[in-house]
């Protein structure tokens, strides 16, 4: 795949793929171990998915079903991003019951 890196970038920008880090040793320093590196989705999901043959073929074979699935996927992108944001914002409890 010669455009693999660009496609990966689009996956992150569309919110299809989230970038995050989890480092449990940060908890020892009183910091939250989950860091979200992705920004909120900045491009439409279609800009990512329709670069891939599998999604274009679905749209060609059944456009109505394709649009239904894209709408569900958009909702999933939104919910997943919000969920990760909530997790990263929650107070962290260390092993001693202290909250940071």
Q: Digits of tens for pLDDT over the chain (100 positions)? A: 578 899 999 999 999 999 999 999 998 888 899 999 999 999 999 999 999 999 999 999 999 999 999 999 999 999 999 999 999 988 766 555 555 5
Q: What is the pLDDT of residue 93?
A: 63
Look at residues 23, 26, 35, 37 and name the one whose alpha carbon lies nearest to residue 100.
Answer: 26
Q: What is the pLDDT of residue 10?
A: 96
Q: What is the pLDDT of residue 91?
A: 76
Where are the domains positioned within the chain?
Answer: 4-89
Give the per-residue SS3 of the chain.
Answer: CCCHHHHHHHHHHHCCCCCEEECCHHHHCCCCCEEECCCCCCCCHHHHHCCCHHHHHHHHHCHHHHHHHHHHHHHHHHHHHHHHHHHHHCCCECCCCCEC
């Amino acid at each position: 795949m010669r455009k693999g890196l660009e496609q990966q970038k689009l996956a992150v920008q569309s919110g299809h793929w989230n970038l995050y880090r989890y480092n449990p040793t940060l908890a020892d320093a009183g910091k939250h171990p989950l860091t979200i590196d992705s920004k909120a989705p900045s491009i439409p999901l279609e800009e990512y998915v329709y670069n891939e043959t599998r999604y274009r073929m679905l749209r060609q074979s059944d456009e109505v079903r394709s649009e239904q699935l894209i709408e569900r996927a958009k909702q999933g992108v939104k919910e997943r991003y919000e969920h990760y944001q909530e997790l990263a914002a929650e107070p962290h409890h260390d092993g001693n019951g202290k909250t940071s």
